[in-house]
Structures are given as structure tokens and as C-alpha cells.
Amino acid sequence: MKHSLRQILAAVTLALGLASSATAQTAPVEVRILAINDFHGNLRPPPGGIRIPDPADATKTIAVPAGGAEHMATLIKQLRAGQKNTVFVAAGDLIGASPFLSAMFHDEPTIEALSMMGLAISAVGNHEFDEGAVELLRMQNGGCHPTDNCQGPHPFLGAKFRYLAASTIEYGTNRTKGKLRFLRKES
């Protein structure tokens, strides 16, 4: 999935604003931004890992264990270690077009895994809308699936991170949502 420079800059600007608003300093603040996209509910790594160029021989590739939620959670934890101002963000397509393990539960396990990893914010990608806007609202706010009900050991709580939907246009009004709370129930 391709994202416009405007979408990426908006997410980074927001992440920087979130990180810097926590301090009252006027001096520059170092911020580490950890970013992902196109996770597509791949909770398990691909069989055999992923192939990368062999550092010893550029004409060959080697398989390394990588991918899936466990590897990503470990890497996120390692990259955060000892770093004061780290924010974990995403550029969309975290759910939808997912393997059976996540799709079978309407991507609830993926949302829960990313929430446990400390994802702060994600732009919506086209695949976030695979099951429609109402289902995306459920991914944000929680609740049981309207057809399949609650399938897990507890009701689905929704994402602990926020979805950014500033470029999302509402049918019928042709207006952008423009605010993060678009995908939040109004208080």
C-alpha cells in the first residue's frame, strides 16, 4: 500500500507533538519513531523466516527468523530499551487481507497484539475498511461482532491506540473527518 507524503508527514508531526507535549523543555528533544505498515494480521512469521541478502556473498540470500507478532514485539521492546522518547506508530493496513488466524476472529487478535506492543497511533489504510466503516469503529472502540458475537474468552475491548482518519471522506457529506476522534465515540 502506498501512502502519500502528506499522510506520512501528518503521522510523524503528530507523533512528535505527542512526544514533545509531555515535557516543558524548550531545548530540542530527541525522539525515536518506530514505524510499521502493511502488517495485515500476520501474527505468525512466514515459514522459514524471511530471505535477506547474504552479508558474506551478495549473490546469495539467507533465511533469518523474522516476521510475526512475537518477533516484532521483541524488536519493539529492544528498540525502546533505554530510549526516553520513543513512539511506535503505523501507516495503515494493519488489518484486512489477513491470514486465517487473524481473519477468523475479525482481526481482533491483531488489534490486541498491537495494543500490547504499545502502538500509539495508526493512519487508516484501505484495508482497515475491508469490513466497512462500522467494523472499523468496532476495532477502535471494542464490542462483539454483530454477526459472530464475542468469540474470545472476554469481550473485545478495542484498540488502545488511536486511528488517524483525517483523509477519510464520509459518504453523503463529502467532508473529511479531520479529527482523531472520528473513530472514537463522542463523549
For 72-89, the pLDDT digits (tens) are 999 999 999 999 999 999
pTM of the model: 0.78
pLDDT on residue 24: 59
In a 10 Å sphere around its CB, with 0-12 CB exposed, 13-18 middle and 19+ buried, how is residue 149 labelled?
A: exposed
How large a percentage of the chain has pLDDT more than 90?
Answer: 64
Residue listed under C-alpha cell 475491548: 157
Q: What is the mean pLDDT of the chain?
A: 85
Residue listed under C-alpha cell 482497515: 128
Instruction: Extract the C-alpha cell encoding 27.
Output: 531545548
pLDDT on residue 20: 54
| Residue 60 clears pLDDT 90, i.e. is over it | yes
Q: Please give the average per-residue pLDDT across 44-63, as a whole number.
A: 94
Q: Identify whether the C-beta of residue 164 lies closer than 8 Å to the C-beta of residue 11.
A: yes
